[in-house]
Amino acid sequence: MTRFTRRTFIVAMAALLPLATVQAAEISERTIKFAFQNNKGHPQEMGAQKFAELVGAKSGGKIKVKLFPGGQLGGDVQTISAVQGGTIEMSVLNSGILQSLSREFAVFDFPFLFANPAEADAVTDGAFGKGLHAKLAEKNLIGLGFWDLGFRNITNSKHPITKVEDIAGLKLRVIQSPIYVDMFSALGANPTPLAWPEVYSALEQKAVDGQENPNTTIRSAKLNEVQKHLAQTRHVYNPQSLIFSKKLWDKLSADEKKIIADAATEATAYERQVSRQQASEAIEELKKSGMQVTEIAPAELQRMRDKVKPVIDKYSAQVGPDTVKALYAEIAKVRK
């Protein structure tokens, strides 16, 4: 082989190397079922759609993600069980609901915990959030990231809420989490846990007076059709855990795991951006639809905080003082 032909051969092989690397990647044909509670157009659904697109592109079309929005495959509690068992491969849900598997997740349902989304991002993306997600492995789940649902607010069909006394006696749907029951009991309401797919009909039939959710969820679920009053209480900020079935995860090749993990990271950034943009748009649309929106005065918000402090103390003891101390230390770092 002459020097010229040898050089040509080396250049040609170098050009083919990326293609050979792609071809050598261990990627199998498979379909991943991704179930969640919110409807098409909600930031949760848009984040899931982005994840599906990224996985398809990164796998060369070999891995397909099929979405099941709107609680098609059941409520969050049923979905968690299905993901653990491997009959559903993925979900995204309020992180606090996972306290049924690991008690530390209850901290994400502490009322009035975060002042803004930036604080939540710092905590969930840092050692604290990663440490909590790592605990899920022993429960047959893999935590892939934290999405944004936003600050929760109260709606009802009875009357405006401007002070804590206005909450008293209202029958409010809450998520299936003990801390929500205790929180709204402390505020004087009659909390009623219901799976999300049941909420619209329960409000329509007056089985419950109201519910509490972020503005984006209220808008996407068209709760303005069955609710008149919206109070901007911002009582809980909801990070959402993107979870994957460990039964499938353990069967994936290193290449497939990287595709899923990288897509989750990119989709997380996208979902957060969309969610926060839509939050401000949603409140204006709800006002235009005829909902009466009230802001809560700082003094009244403080009264609400005082009412729920015993609930925070109760769950701090259950979660463990070291975990709670670490959480508040992380928040303090951001505020500095």
pLDDT tens digits, 135-150: 999 999 999 999 999 9
Distance from C-alpha of 255 to C-alpha of 110, rounded to nearest angstrom:
38
Q: Nearest CA to 196 among 107, 285, 274, 79?
A: 79
Structural domain of residue 89, as residue ranges? 28-335
Structure tokens at 174: 């809450």
Whether residue 132 lies inside any domain: the answer is: yes
pLDDT of residue 177: 83
Residue 11 lies in a domain: no
Residue 95 Cα distances to 70, 92, 100, 124, 150, angstroms:
18, 9, 10, 10, 12
123 in a structural domain: yes
pLDDT of residue 280: 85
Q: Is residue 278 part of a domain?
A: yes
The sign of the dihedral angle between the CA atoms of 164, 168, 174, 179 is: positive
Rounded Cα–Cα distance for residues 154 and 290 (Å): 16
In a domain, 292, yes or no: yes
Residues of the chain with pLDDT under 50: 4, 9-11, 16-23
pLDDT digits (tens, 9 = 90+) for 186-237: 999 999 999 888 999 999 999 999 999 999 999 999 999 999 999 999 999 9
21 within a domain of the structure (yes/no): no
Question: For residue 176, what pLDDT is reported?
Answer: 82
Q: Which of 174, 124, 130 is nearest to 147 (CA)?
A: 124
- Give dist(CA 284, CA 96) in Å, integer: 28
CATH of residue 283's domain is 3.40.190.170
Q: What's the structural domain count of the chain?
A: 1
